[in-house]
């Protein structure tokens, strides 16, 4: 399948060119009307309106078929014909040159945007790929933007991304089928950290999982599943996590009734102006083991909740807990807090 970025709205310059074309067309119509009336006036008595119009048209286009309306007896008529020829020819030339500029600029801008976008995507490292940018995919994109995680969206339908592009014109996106090898390679899946298979079709999500796992065995895959009976198939195809919005939504509704305060707290985190989140940071392999007190368990922007070591979770670990490579730190905070913790880890390598 041919790959291409989603078309963006035409730039303001193209809108100005269109406006010039419209006004030039109005001027051309006025010239045709004025020319027709003028040739009826300066031509022989009883000159038909159609002959006068035809005389105006051949004068404007300079085709040179000869005078349909005889103006040999009127110098003023010939001067008028000369004026119609020069003014009309200039207007027609302006219209065609503007049309040429409009189409060339549209294609050129599209090509330049495509090239810039592909160049930016090739520079990405440890980014995410959102396959399917419908309602679920757009919400995934909003969360990734809020937490400062770079991502590339792949969507087969241009209409699905139009509203998101209006608010976030810098969105990196490709138009095509995300289950196609070329599309995932164009999104630089070999350097990607994770893939979201969140289209509205379980079979397509299954193919995305299978294709993504073949192209990058190390990538983490989270898949959307409508029918729970397909969840095992997606896991076998390569998905690390399978999420059913219907099942999760039902659990959330029940939790809102049974544990209203806890759910309210989570909702407030999602709506917070500081974008507080439950986040995680993985300790790299070249990290020098140290105590949690030395690393820093809290700041004004984050609070360390637990440390995941293998299959064990250490909730609220003490200051003398030894932080080692391969562990996962689970924290509550904003994007700046995550950056602070990552900077402290890099400083202790």
In this predicted structure, what is the pLDDT of residue 11?
A: 47
Contact in structure between 94 and 70 (CB atoms under 8 Å): no
Residue found by looking up tokens 């241009």 in the block = 158
Whole-angstrom distance, CA of residue 161 vs CA of residue 327: 37
User: Rounded to an integer, what distance in angstroms lies between the CA atom of residue 308 and that of residue 48?
Assistant: 93
> In the prediction, which pLDDT does 117 show?
79
Residues 172 and 152: beta-carbon distance below 8 Å: yes
Q: Where are the domains of the chain?
A: 12-122, 124-249, 275-347
**Confidence at residue 112, expressed as pLDDT on a 0 to 100 scale:** 65
d(CA 174, CA 160): 12
Superfamily (CATH H level) for 124-249: NAD(P)-binding Rossmann-like Domain (3.40.50.720)
Per-residue model confidence (pLDDT) at position 349: 77
The pLDDT value given to residue 321: 93
So what's the pLDDT on residue 2? 41
Give the CATH number of domain 275-347: 3.30.70.1450
Digits of tens for pLDDT over the chain (349 positions)? 344 433 433 445 556 767 777 887 888 888 888 888 887 887 777 778 888 888 888 777 777 666 777 776 677 777 887 777 777 777 777 777 777 766 665 555 566 667 777 888 888 899 999 999 988 999 999 889 888 899 999 998 888 887 788 788 778 888 889 999 999 999 999 999 999 999 989 999 999 999 999 999 999 999 999 888 899 999 999 999 999 888 888 888 898 899 888 877 777 766 655 567 788 899 998 898 999 999 988 888 889 999 999 889 999 999 999 999 999 999 988 878 888 899 999 888 7
Regarding beta strands 128-131 and 194-197, do their DSSP bridges make them parallel or antiparallel, or are they unpaired?
parallel
Contact 69, 55 (CB under 8 A): yes
Other CB atoms closer than 10 Å to residue 314's CB: what's the count? 14
Instruction: Report d(CA 171, CA 329) in Å as an integer.
Output: 30
Enumerate helices (H) and strands (E) in the chain, giving the number of each: 12, 12
Distances (CA, A) of 140 to 96, 199, 211, 329: 46, 12, 21, 22
Tokens of 83: 């004026």
Q: Provide the CATH topology of domain 12-122.
A: Helix Hairpins (1.10.287)
């Amino acid at each position: 399948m041919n790959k291409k970025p989603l078309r963006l709205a035409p730039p303001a310059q193209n809108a100005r060119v269109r406006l010039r074309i419209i006004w030039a067309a109005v001027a051309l119509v006025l010239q045709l009307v004025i020319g027709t009336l003028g040739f009826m006036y300066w031509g022989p008595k009883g000159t038909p309106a159609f002959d006068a119009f035809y005389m105006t048209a051949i004068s404007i286009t300079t085709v040179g078929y000869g005078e349909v309306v005889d103006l040999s007896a009127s110098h003023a008529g010939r001067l008028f014909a000369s004026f119609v020829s020069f003014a009309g020819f200039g207007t027609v030339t302006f219209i065609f040159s503007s049309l040429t500029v409009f189409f060339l600029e549209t294609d050129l801008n599209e090509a330049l945007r495509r090239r810039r976008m592909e160049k930016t995507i090739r520079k990405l490292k440890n980014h995410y790929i959102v396959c399917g940018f419908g309602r679920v995919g757009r919400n995934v994109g909003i969360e990734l933007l809020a937490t400062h995680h770079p991502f590339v969206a792949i969507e087969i339908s241009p209409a699905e991304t139009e509203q998101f592009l209006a608010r976030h014109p810098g969105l990196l996106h490709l138009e095509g089928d995300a289950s196609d090898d070329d599309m995932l390679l164009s999104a630089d899946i070999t350097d990607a950290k994770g893939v979201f298979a969140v289209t509205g079709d379980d079979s397509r999500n299954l193919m995305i999982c299978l294709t993504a796992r073949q192209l990058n065995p190390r990538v983490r895959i989270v898949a959307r599943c409508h029918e729970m009976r397909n969840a095992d198939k997606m896991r076998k195809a390569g998905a690390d996590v399978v999420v059913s919005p219907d099942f999760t939504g039902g659990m959330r509704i029940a939790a809102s009734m049974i544990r209203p305060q806890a759910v309210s707290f989570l909702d407030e985190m999602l709506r917070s102006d500081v974008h507080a989140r439950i986040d995680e940071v993985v300790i790299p392999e070249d990290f020098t083991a140290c105590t949690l007190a030395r690393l820093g368990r809290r700041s004004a922007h984050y609070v360390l909740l637990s440390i995941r070591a293998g299959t064990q979770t250490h909730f609220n670990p003490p200051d003398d807990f030894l932080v080692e490579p391969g562990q996962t730190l689970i924290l509550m905070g904003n994007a700046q807090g995550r950056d602070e913790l990552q900077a402290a880890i890099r400083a202790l390598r």
